[in-house]
Amino acid sequence: MNHLLPLLKREMNEHRGGLLLTPFIVGGVLVLFLILGLITSLTLKIQTSFGGEIARYALQSNPELLVITAKKALQAFGLAAAAIINLTCAIVVFFYCLGTLYDDRRDRSILFWRSLPVSDALTVWSKVLIAAVVAPSIAFVAVIATQVLMWIAGSVVVLSMGGSLKAMFTGDLAGLTSVARHLVALPLHALWVLPLVGWLLLASAFAKSKPFLWAVLPPLGVAIADSWFDVTSTLSLPKNTVFKLIGERIFNDPLPMAANLSQEGVRLAGSLIPFAAAPSSVFSDWPVYLQMSSLWIGALLGVAMIVASVYLRRKSEDAY
């Protein structure tokens, strides 16, 4: 077990660009966009938009409204940034999983790794940890960094328009709550994505070439066959079960990324009630997810596929 840390370090070394730098670069670009947007809207005074001029006047004459609006805008931006960074991270993890048990077989470096006293099980599980825990946690840090920079930029603008800095950091702190929710959702996310990670690792460990096609074509094939021949209904399952299951798995991810984001957006835009007023909301996702049988069934399936990947890796001798 004391080999786990070196293994994780090795993965991070190999995938530094994708796993470590990418979320921060994406976050940086988003901050840059926000700053550029703020500068343009301030200096050009939104000449083209008569409504914009009125809004600016209304905000400048009412510092309280200014702070509330700025906070809401920053919360929305922060959430959008979280979603974009997490989505980028998910794409990186997708390709990481597909390559990680395949690339070293292709270039035969698996023979070097397997000449060291490190078990195949621990090797594979270290990759699972990277995909399900480490990568989303790095993305989380990148989200925080991005949101802090966004708040600083926003606060400067609010200050320049006569708003109070103190008001920016007191009262409605829904942005903070959403960060806390993001943090506590990380373990849920790890459980939630296990079947996806397991499937991709299985394809990666199994494929003699083109792991991408091995990962994508079988479910796609089943889904297409399903829509043509109604395969799942003969198993007394609703039509298009495969699509539905994969879709649910992707869009119901507990991290701010997809479906939950639109709900969050609606809540943010539609109500002035701050999240901070309801402290239980930080953990509100937990009972919802923990009660889902699909979370546990999925996690079990994921573990089964990971175990199968370990077995395939042990068996992979064609590299030598």
Partner 1 sequence: MSVIEAKALSKRYGTKIALDAVNLSVPAGRIVGLIGPNGAGKTTALKAILGLTDFLGELKVLGLNPHSQRDELMQNVSFIADVAILPRWIRVADLVAFTQSVHPKFDRARFDALINKTEVKSKARVRELSKGMVAQLHLSLVMAIDAKLLVLDEPTLGLDIIYRKRFYDTLLNDYFDQEKTIIVTTHQVEEIQHILTDLIFIQHGRIVLDASMDAVAERFTEVMVPAAKADLARALKPLNERQVFGKHVFLFDSVDRHTLGELGEINVPGVADLFVATMSEQAA
In the complex, which residues of this chain contact partner 1 (CB under 8 A)? Answer: 3, 5-7, 9-10, 13-14, 104, 107-109, 111-119, 314, 317, 320
Angle between helices 63-100 and 22-43 (to 10 degrees): 150
Measured from the CB of residue 194, what is the shortest distance to partner 1 in angstroms? 24
Q: Which is nearer to partner 1, 56 or 106 (CB)?
A: 106
Kindly tell me which of 14 and 248 has the beta carbon lying closer to partner 1: 14
Q: What is the DSSP string of the chain?
A: -TTHHHHHHHHHHHTIIIIIIHHHHHHHHHHHHHHHHHHHHHHSTTTT-HHHHHHHHHHHH-HHHHHHHHHHHHHHHHHHHHHHHHHHHHHHHHHHHHHHTTHHHHSSTHHHHTTSS--HHHHHHHHHHIIIIIHHHHHHHHHHHHHHHHHHHHHHHHHHTT--HHHHTSS--HHHHHHHHHHHHHHHHHHHHHHHHHHHHHHHHH-SS-HHHHHHHHHHHHHHHHHHH-HHHHTT--TTHHHHHHHHHHHT-SSTTSHHHHHHHHHHHH----GGG-GGGGGTHHHHHHT-HHHHHHHHHHHHHHHHHHHHHHH--TT-
- Minimum distance of partner 1 from residue 109's CB (angstroms): 4
Comparing CB distances to partner 1, the nearer of 85 and 310 is: 310
Least Cβ distance, residue 97 to partner 1 (angstroms): 17
Nearest approach in angstroms of CB 106 to partner 1 is 11
Do residues 202 and 312 make contact, with C-beta atoms less than 8 angstroms apart? yes
The nearer residue to partner 1, 300 or 319, going by C-beta atoms, is 319
Cβ distance to partner 1 smaller for residue 120 or 285: 120
**What is the nearest approach in angstroms of partner 1 to the Cβ of residue 117?**
4
Q: What is the nearest approach in angstroms of partner 1 to the Cβ of residue 25? A: 20
Residue 113 CB, shortest distance to partner 1, in Å, is 8
Which residue lies nearer to partner 1 by CB, 2 or 280? 2
Which lies closer to partner 1 via its Cβ, residue 56 or residue 314?
314
